[in-house]
């Protein structure tokens, strides 16, 4: 069984991405990031600089989509430990 892949920016399961992943500048697919976070070789939220900021952004978005505060908190717990944020300023 293949290991489930997650966006290394927001933590969303990549198999839930309606576009099948983000894209590089040349239009090719990027296997690390989802289409909500990475388009045309650039991150879609350039003002988000840390994993904690992305966590807050995602929690707010999930709440707007109707998820409970507990669900939003639980689903965003791992964001600061994702690859994109490991080297970002804490």
Mean pLDDT of 3-21: 93
Q: Considering the chain, what is the average pLDDT of its residues?
A: 93
- DSSP characters over the chain: -PPPPB-TTT--BGGG-TTSSEE-TTS-EESSS-TTTEETTEES-TT--SHHHHHHHHHHHHHHTT--HHHHHHHHTTGGGSHHHHSS--
pLDDT number for residue 33:
97
CA distances from 24 to 19, 49, 82 (A): 13, 20, 19
pLDDT number for residue 87:
77
């Amino acid at each position: 069984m293949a290991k489930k892949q997650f966006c290394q920016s927001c933590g969303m399961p990549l198999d839930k991405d309606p576009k099948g992943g983000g894209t590089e500048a040349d239009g090719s697919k990027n296997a690390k990031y989802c289409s909500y976070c990475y388009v045309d070789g650039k991150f879609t939220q350039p003002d988000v600089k840390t994993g904690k900021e992305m966590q807050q952004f995602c929690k707010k978005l999930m709440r707007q989509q109707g998820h409970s505060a507990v669900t939003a908190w639980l689903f965003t717990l791992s964001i600061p430990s994702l690859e994109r944020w490991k080297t970002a300023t804490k």
